[in-house]
Each structure stands twice: as structure tokens, then as C-alpha cells.
Copies of this chain bind each other. A is one copy, B any other.
Amino acid sequence: MPRLTLNISMSLDGFIAGPNQTLEQPLGAGGEALHEWAFRLASWREPHGLSGGETDVADDEVVAETLQATGAVVMGRRMFSGGEGPWADDPNADAWWGDNPPFHVPVFVLTHHAREKEIKEGGTSFTFVTGGIEAALEQARAAAGDKDVSLAGGADVVQQYLKAGLLDELQVHLVPVFLGGGVRLFDRLEPIELEGTRVIESDAVTHLRFRVVR
């Protein structure tokens, strides 16, 4: 059965976005600092339709490995339509990811609003699931074939899957910065045992992989 995995950039003080997220500043104040290590990589640029980028760093292999392993994606509705804010309440918002989103696999969006599936360019589709996190995971698993289902976020969705015991593996790209505020990833959890399975470091970031122990 396809595993459910999480790969996510986090500050040392635990934030995956800075404070004051807006449409113009979707990562929040200072949040860009969490992703600069990835923006410069060929493996990140290619699925985003950008040429060039670095290939001779360990970070590039980590990102390529994750993309290679991903057969389907699950995300929360606020991540689909652009984060917090009044515009997030528009159930038809879909300008966020463009005509050719960077996923290139089927994406399953958790929402309370039933909506027709959307087929985008480049292999990405958005299927809207109103039946809850288990239903979304079940549909994503069926679409993933022999690859993994990747949990894209946001933080509240990650917390729900963790507490339900449905996440199999997580890889934190730990960025050496304190943001001081924003969206905290590992919050309001319960005691959960992990096992460290791999550490890869580069000049910019440390990739820490864990298995969830059940």
C-alpha cells in the first residue's frame, strides 16, 4: 500500500510560514528564507517550468528523490486556494497554482465544498474530497500506484494526519533561522514516537528524516 509521507521546510523555531500571510506575501514575513535552499535547485525549478539551477549539491538529490517517489498529493483547501485571508473563503478560487501546476500528479484537496474535478496541464489534476482525511488518503492511494502519497500541507492538515496515526514518514528540511512567529507546523499534537532514519546536511539546510513508530 502506498505510504503517506511529508517533506517540508521548517525554521528552527518550528514555523513553515512567517507571520502576516497575504496574497502578495503568501509565505508570510520572512517566509521566503525557508525555501531559498530549494529555489536554486534544478530539481525544484524543472517541475515549476524554470530552466537551469544547481545539480551538484546533496539538496538537489533530496528534492529529486522526493518528486520521483510521489504518485499523488493530498493538500488542505487553504493551501489549494492560497492560504489564510478572506479570499480563502471563495470555494472557486483556483488561480493560485496556474494552468500548469508544479505537482504533475493527481492532487486531492480536502474541502467542505463539493466541486467538479479540474484537469490541468502537465499531469496535474485537482480532485475535491468532502469525506474527510481518510477518504482523501484512500483516493490518493488508489491514484498513486506503486509510489508514495505526499502530504503537501498546511500545518493543520499535517496535524490531523499525524494525530490520526496515518502519516508513515516525514522529512523536515530544517532551515537555520528563527522567524519569531507565523504558522507552526508541529503544534497541538499528542505524544508520538519517531525513529530517525536519515540525516543529510548541506551548507544551507539539514534534511532530517523520521519514521512514525506505531
Q: Which A residues contact B (CB, under 8 angstroms)? A: 12-14, 29-30, 162, 172, 174, 176-180, 186-196, 199, 201, 203, 205-206, 208, 210
Hey, which chain B residues are within 8 Å of A188, CB to CB?
A: 180
Contact A191 B179 (CB under 8 A): yes
Hey, which chain B residues are within 8 Å of A210, CB to CB?
A: 12, 176
CB distance from A162 to the nearest CB of B (A): 7
Pick the residue among B12, B14, B178, B208 that contacts A206 (CB under 8 A).
Answer: B208
Hey, which chain B residues are within 8 Å of A199, CB to CB?
A: 199, 201, 206
Hey, which chain B residues are within 8 Å of A178, CB to CB?
A: 162, 186, 189-192, 194
Q: Which B residue sits closest to A30, measured CB to CB? A: B191
Hey, which chain B residues are within 8 Å of A190, CB to CB?
A: 178, 180
Hey, which chain B residues are within 8 Å of A179, CB to CB?
A: 191
Known: A179-B191, A180-B189. 12 other contacts (CB 8 A): A12-B210, A13-B14, A30-B191, A162-B178, A176-B196, A177-B192, A177-B194, A178-B190, A180-B188, A180-B191, A180-B192, A206-B208
CB distance from A21 to the nearest CB of B (A): 15
Contact B176 A194 (CB under 8 A): yes
Hey, which chain B residues are within 8 Å of A174, CB to CB?
A: 208
CA A208 to CA B172, docked complex, whole Å = 13
Hey, which chain B residues are within 8 Å of A196, CB to CB?
A: 176, 201, 203, 205-206
Residue contacts A-B, CB under 8 angstroms, 26 given: A12-B172, A12-B194, A13-B14, A13-B186, A13-B187, A13-B189, A30-B191, A162-B178, A174-B208, A176-B193, A176-B194, A176-B195, A176-B210, A177-B191, A177-B192, A177-B194, A178-B189, A178-B190, A178-B191, A179-B191, A180-B189, A180-B191, A180-B192, A196-B206, A199-B201, A206-B208
Hey, which chain B residues are within 8 Å of A29, CB to CB?
A: 191
Q: Which B residue sits closest to A194, measured CB to CB? A: B176
Q: Which B residue sits closest to A211, measured CB to CB? A: B176
CA A172 to CA B12, docked complex, whole Å = 10
